[in-house]
Amino acid sequence: MSAYQYDHQTIKGFIISSVFWGVVGIIIGLWISIQMWQPSWNVAPYFTFGRLRVVHTNILGFGFGVGAIFGLNYYISMRLTKRPLLFPKLARFHLYLFNTAIALAAVSLFAGMNQSLEYAELEWPLDIGIVVLWIIFAVNLFGTIIKRKEEQMYISLWYIIATVIAVAVLYIVNNLSVPAGLFKSYSLFAGINSANVQWWYGHNVIGFIFSTPILAMFYYFLPKSTGLPIYSHRLSIISLWSLVFAYLWTGAHHLVYTPLPDWIQTLAIVFTIFLIAPSWGSVVNGFYTVAPDWSKMRTNYLTKFFIFAITFYGLQTVQGPTQGLRVVSQLIHYTDWVPGHVHMGTMGWVTMTVCASIYYVIPRIYKTEIYSVKVANSHFYLVLIGQLIFSVSMWITGIQQGALWKAVTPEGTLKYTFMETLVKNYPFWQMRTVGGLIFAAGMLFFVYNIAMTIRSGNAISGPASKGVR
Amino acid sequence: MAGDIYKKPVMFAIVSTAVILIGTAVTMFIPMMTAQMHPRIEALKPFTPLQLAGRDIYQREGCNNCHTQTVRPLRTEVMRYGEYSKAGEFAYDRPFLWGSKRTGPDLARIGKKYPDAWHYRHFENPRKFFQESNMPAYGWLKENNLDPGDVKGHMDVLGFSYSEEEISLLQERNELDALVAYVQVIGTSIPRRRAVRTQGKTTTAEIKNPLAGNQAAIIAGRDLFEENCSDCHGEDAEGDIGPSLIDDVFLYVEGDLADDDYFELINNGTEEGHVEEGRTMKGGMPAFVGDMSREEMWSVISYIRYLKNKQEGKNRDG
Amino acid sequence: MTDDLDNIEDFEAKETAGKLPIGWLILFWGLIIWGVYYFIAYTPGISGWSQAKAYEESVRK
């Protein structure tokens, strides 16, 4: 054993918090999926769709997603720098502040304090808290990396550094506002300019929370769990730089056919389509890494999580850019196609990678084996099926709705009223709830598996191992 | 050597910051400094205190999660919602509320499309008008009074002008009043109907109702009437939110309307201040050009004429 | 099951470290070329195309 003392307590805390927020977010997700076809499930004022939807996105994006990113990126960084975190107490404070912020975020959104900026809904006092959180993360991370004991920085560290910088810039700029009381503010930006700033943020915060830090996990945990080395160093370099460069140009693909100047839209579409290349750089690298030994898909339960996850990432990063094209946007923008797209990314790529990484980390922290590979396999198949039902039903109804909106009669009038197009969604929205339930059941298998693993770990090492270890 | 950057975290951080800022500058920061990102059309007015209070509630309730506020320049979209959105319409929106999903219809041209009374009733129970609607009810907003002090503070932050009288009047208004006031001003700085009016104009062949007195058309017209018209004009067209259709007053003036004018009224709706056959409209009737075919509109007219004759018969006999 | 140190050497393959699959390279350059075309074709200041003009045309049809 070495003299290195990794700060596992904080990492445990982040992982458990993340899983907790994940469960809460999924329950709210199921609830709002029912509200879509059963309006009596709206309970005014706190539990209407308009308020719950943002609780769902914030809890899952920032509670589950960012919680896992904090914990797992700390874990990865310590391993790759071969040293404990530079400021372990600050990391502990970071954990407490994180949970406080997410809880307050949920409460404030239930209460209707909402800036109406997608994925930046939180009002200004919480924004300040989140900036502080992020600065703590950045300080600890950069400190640890600068004081590292391994000269070469591995790919995962590049992605983590890029994430820390990009999110900071994005979050601060988009949330600039003038307070009007403690719970209300008005954006510094107005009209089409505010739209441009918001989607520059909105698209990139997805990119730098649901792509780059998750790729950091992928590049680290794939070789660790399979024992297979990453195929091409050069491919990962080109992918990183072209991804980080191109991403920031693309926000306006959310604003195709709006009054935003045409040239900004066109430029966004160009870079959006280009993004297929760097994204697929990682996909190709992942496939080629496992290619020498495909039997791992059967023999190593984590391999299939990672390979399916990167496959969904690959599908996501073709589908997403395609949606930016004017001719496609015309048809599917504003329809249920888009939630279908988003959930393939979040349920397929992000959640699978995060869960597999947690499966890898938890037994190692608790010095035990995973409780049950069988349960993990059930988890895998349930979330896979649940997510596919969800996404496919949304794509079908999205295309259908887009087509009905455009349908005209031979005499040149619209063929369907809005209501007629809405009711055709109902069977698909019900199907989505079914898919969500299956996915949620899969996640319960995951939670159970992790809980039992932690229990057996505690039983082995006993209470004596508590403390900074 | 270029490979050194992967050994120098500070250098790596600086280079990646620079790389991130290039796209940011070209598509966001630089345009922001130019006039093209800050247009404002002449007719656009800042929000009144009541409208702003309503907009705050629209944000609080997350209406933008299900409703967009931008009409795209696409043929069928303009037919459905009205004139496509212009850059200068949103100058006072901090932030913009375009949304990203249409679970419900776009609201960019909702202002003045329906009368206030329609909105009150619809907010209280959306399923009264649209049986299969999935919109939550918002009648509970009536229970909450506005806080004039708050609204005043918000007006000051935004630098919108107001009179003390407007503020003190808020005392008697509730949140639903405010929300309706906001909804009624959305997208009204541009004439909503321009595009709609050019669609489906009656041809010279149809100055008279081609389906007048047609039995099948009357029956079809009854169903259409119940579906589209009775919520505002009453079960038997006796009038409710909208005027009676079986009396002899049309557009506030005594005397029947010719078939083609009637058709145009249903087709295009009414617009405040617009003059048709010497009668000045007050607005509030939505255009049905997107919702009903030409034949369906003529059927509705046949049915209404039938109802009116029946009523006149009753009056004579009684 | 110990806190063994990672050996960073094991993370990346040596013999394929510099490889770029040809299919991926075609994709990479192909998208850049397409991007140049699309930018020229759909930027009002260059090609004269605009959203508003495209709409007017679709209505005239």
pLDDT at res. B192: 67
Quickly state the pLDDT bin for B53 (edges 50, 70, 90).
Answer: very high
pLDDT at res. C11: 93
- Chain A residue numbers with beta carbons less than 8 Å from the beta carbon of C23 are 284
Nearest to A233 among C17, C32, C49 (CB): C17
- State which fold the B49-192 domain adopts: Cytochrome Bc1 Complex; Chain D, domain 2 (1.10.760)
Structure tokens at B58: 């629209």
- Chain B residue numbers with beta carbons less than 8 Å from the beta carbon of C52 are 73
pLDDT tens readout for residues B72-112: 999 999 989 989 999 999 999 999 999 999 999 999 999 98
pLDDT at res. B4: 85
pLDDT tens readout for residues A185-207: 999 999 999 999 999 999 999 89
**Mean pLDDT throughout A51-77?**
97
Backbone phi, psi, residue A35, to 5°: -55, -30
Nearest to B136 among A49, A151, A412 (CB): A49
Mean per-residue pLDDT of chain A: 94
Q: Would A357 be classed as within a structural domain?
A: no
- Residue ranges of the domains in chain B? 49-192, 200-317
**Mean pLDDT throughout B15-28?**
97
H/E stretch holding A246 reads helix A233-247
Quickly state the pLDDT bin for B260 (edges 50, 70, 90).
Answer: confident
pLDDT at res. A138: 97
A230/C11 CB distance under 8 A: yes
pLDDT at res. C3: 56
Residue A239, pLDDT > 50, answer: yes
Matching residue, tokens 């909402």: A114
Q: How far is CA B141 from CA A57, A113, B53, B119, in A?
A: 25, 16, 12, 13
pLDDT at res. A234: 96
CATH number of domain containing A124: 1.20.210.10
Contact A199, B95 (CB under 8 A): no
Quickly state the pLDDT bin for B253 (edges 50, 70, 90).
Answer: confident
Residue A6's SS3 state is coil
- Chain B residue numbers with beta carbons less than 8 Å from the beta carbon of C59 are 75, 78, 195
Asked if the C-beta of A48 comes within 8 angstroms of chain B's C-beta atoms, the answer is yes
Percent of chain A predicted with pLDDT > 70: 97
pLDDT at res. A168: 96
Among 3.40.640.10, 1.10.760.10, 3.90.105.10, 3.40.50.720, name the CATH number for the domain at B200-317: 1.10.760.10
Percent of chain A predicted with pLDDT > 90: 93
| Chains contacting chain A through 3 or more C-beta pairs under 8 A | B, C
Residue A178's SS3 state is strand
- Lowest-confidence region among A60-64, A134-138, A460-464, B178-182: A460-464
pLDDT at res. B60: 97
Asked if the C-beta of B20 comes within 8 angstroms of chain A's C-beta atoms, the answer is yes
**Residue B254 class from Cβ within 10 Å (0-12 exposed, 13-18 middle, 19+ buried)?**
exposed
pLDDT at res. B198: 41
Residue A464, pLDDT > 80, answer: no
pLDDT at res. B256: 81
- Lowest-confidence region among A237-251, B156-170, B233-247: B233-247
pLDDT tens readout for residues A153-188: 999 999 999 999 999 999 999 999 999 999 999 999
pLDDT tens readout for residues C16-29: 999 999 999 999 99
- Residue ranges of the domains in chain C? 24-61
pLDDT at res. B167: 97
The residue of A9, A231, A270, A406 whose CB has the most chain C CBs within 10 angstroms, and thus the best one to mutate to test that interface, is A270
Minimal C-alpha gap between A255 and chain C (Å): 12
pLDDT at res. B195: 43
A151/B7 CB distance under 8 A: yes
pLDDT at res. C2: 45
The reply to whether B200-317 shares the fold of B49-192 is yes
Quickly state the pLDDT bin for A466 (edges 50, 70, 90).
Answer: very low
Mean per-residue pLDDT of chain B: 90
Asked if the C-beta of C61 comes within 8 angstroms of chain A's C-beta atoms, the answer is no
- Lowest-confidence region among A4-13, A251-260, A445-454: A4-13
Q: How far is CA B213 from CA B42, B221, B261, in A?
A: 49, 11, 18
ipTM over 0.90: yes
Quickly state the pLDDT bin for B254 (edges 50, 70, 90).
Answer: confident
More confident residue, B262 or A436: A436
- Among residues A452, A291, A195, A363, the alpha carbon closest in space to that of B38 is found at A195
- Among residues A366, A354, A368, the alpha carbon closest in space to that of A447 is found at A354
Q: Would A9 be classed as within a structural domain?
A: yes
**Cα–Cα distance between A423 and B117 in angstroms, integer?**
26
- Chain B residue numbers with beta carbons less than 8 Å from the beta carbon of C51 are 73
pLDDT at res. B65: 97
- Lowest-confidence region among A147-151, A346-350, B101-105: A147-151
Domain count within chain A = 1
State the alpha helices, DSSP H only, in A325-417: 326-332, 337-343, 351-365, 373-406
Residue A419, pLDDT > 70, answer: yes
pLDDT tens readout for residues A105-114: 999 999 999 9
pLDDT tens readout for residues A299-319: 999 999 999 999 999 999 999
pLDDT at res. A130: 96
